[in-house]
């Protein structure tokens, strides 16, 4: 007879890998949207490049995984059902925002999902508020940094190349943008695949498969592969919103967006701070757009993006809470 706890563990792992796959076509679209919109790369070439570099980035470090797995809730309050309900909340919200082409944050979604399921299981006291404050602070500060750095970087390039013809400048930056897009895709892997690594490791610890929180290499490969496959599936709905509808970009702008965004994400990942690729690159596009003029930004699209940002944590937490309440009587806590 099958061990019910082992069955639950398998369901958690499958759900986490599904979340990583969805994250691949949901968030990676943001990472490559600018190079596609400026025609520095074709959609096919950008997706293949992003898939390979997402995998490479995901294998570099596990610091963000540790923050997600240990910084939200004490391990004594984690059960397989808590993790499964939390991941389900994140998956549902990601699919809703993907359907409507809204670049919401998978980082916020998984954090909100875990918060909602833990609250359903053990109440607010089970949450690690000090750890959550650090995580949420990083998620709030990174878009501000993205906007500022994007604006400053673009102004510096304007100053340096003030006497160059726009056509020649964009031709050269179209080549450079391939490198910056690769840099961005790699940085996305270092940040986003690790969220599922943290979730799966949390579940393995709860089951007793491992004794301390340390990400097994098999988990690293599995999550990196799932994200790479999701990336290969593409994500044109969100790519269109970010790369075309929000701010009209030329290759020089795309280069600034990708380089500045990747710098912010890699810097945060080095300290184990989970950033949102979506928030960083969207805010950097905003900064670059503002460097042109205020009217260069499509403020209606900006409003839709902001609403999705604000709703992500409470919405995914609510779905996770309801999932726990429905599933726990059926599958056990």
Domains of the chain by residue range: 4-328
Q: What is the 3-state secondary structure (H, E, C) of 104-166?
A: CCHHHHHHHHHHHHHHHHHCHHHECHHHHHHHHHHHHHHHHHHHHHHHHHHHHHHHHCCCCCH
- pLDDT tens for the chain, residues 1 to 333: 667 788 888 888 999 899 888 877 776 666 677 777 777 777 778 778 877 887 888 787 667 766 776 777 776 777 888 888 999 999 998 888 877 777 677 778 888 998 899 899 888 888 888 777 877 787 778 888 889 999 998 899 888 887 776 666 777 788 888 888 888 888 877 777 777 888 888 888 888 888 888 888 888 888 888 887 887 776 555 555 555 556 677 788 888 888 888 888 888 777 777 777 777 888 888 888 888 888 777 778 778 778 877 888 899 999 999 999 988 877 655
Q: Output the CA torsion sign for 73, 318, 325, 119.
A: positive
Q: In the chain, what's the furthest Cα-to-Cα distance?
A: 76
DSSP-derived secondary structure letter, 73: B
Predicted structure pTM score: 0.78
């Amino acid at each position: 007879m099958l061990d019910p706890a082992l069955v639950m563990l398998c369901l958690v792992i499958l759900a986490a890998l599904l979340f990583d796959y969805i994250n691949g076509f949901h968030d990676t679209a943001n990472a490559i949207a600018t190079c596609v919109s400026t025609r520095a790369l074709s959609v096919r070439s950008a997706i293949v490049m992003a898939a390979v570099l997402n995998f490479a980035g995901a294998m570099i470090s596990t610091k963000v995984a540790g923050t997600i797995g240990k910084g939200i809730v004490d391990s004594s309050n984690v059960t397989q059902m808590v993790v499964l309900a939390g991941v389900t909340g994140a998956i549902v919200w990601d699919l809703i925002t993907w359907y409507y082409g809204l670049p919401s944050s998978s980082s916020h979604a998984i954090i909100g999902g875990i918060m909602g399921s833990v609250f359903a299981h053990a109440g607010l006291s089970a949450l690690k508020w000090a750890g959550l404050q650090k995580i949420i602070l990083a998620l709030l500060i990174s878009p501000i940094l993205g906007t500022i750095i994007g604006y400053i970087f673009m102004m510096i390039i304007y100053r340096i190349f003030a006497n160059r013809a726009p056509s020649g400048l964009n031709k050269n930056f179209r080549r450079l943008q391939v490198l910056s897009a690769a840099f961005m895709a790699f940085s996305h892997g270092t940040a986003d695949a690790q969220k599922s690594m943290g979730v799966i490791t949390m579940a393995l610890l709860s089951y007793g498969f491992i004794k301390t929180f340390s990400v097994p290499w098999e988990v690293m490969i599995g999550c990196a592969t799932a994200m790479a496959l999701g990336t290969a599936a593409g994500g044109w709905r969100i790519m269109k919103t970010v790369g075309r509808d929000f701010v009209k970009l030329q290759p020089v702008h795309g280069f600034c967006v990708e380089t500045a965004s990747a710098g912010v994400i890699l810097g945060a990942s080095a300290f184990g701070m989970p950033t949102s690729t979506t928030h960083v690159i969207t805010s950097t596009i905003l900064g670059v757009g503002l460097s042109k003029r205020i009217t260069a930004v499509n403020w209606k699209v900006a409003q839709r993006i902001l609403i999705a940002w604000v709703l992500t944590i409470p919405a995914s937490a609510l779905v996770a809470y309801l999932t726990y309440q429905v599933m726990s009587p059926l599958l056990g806590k």
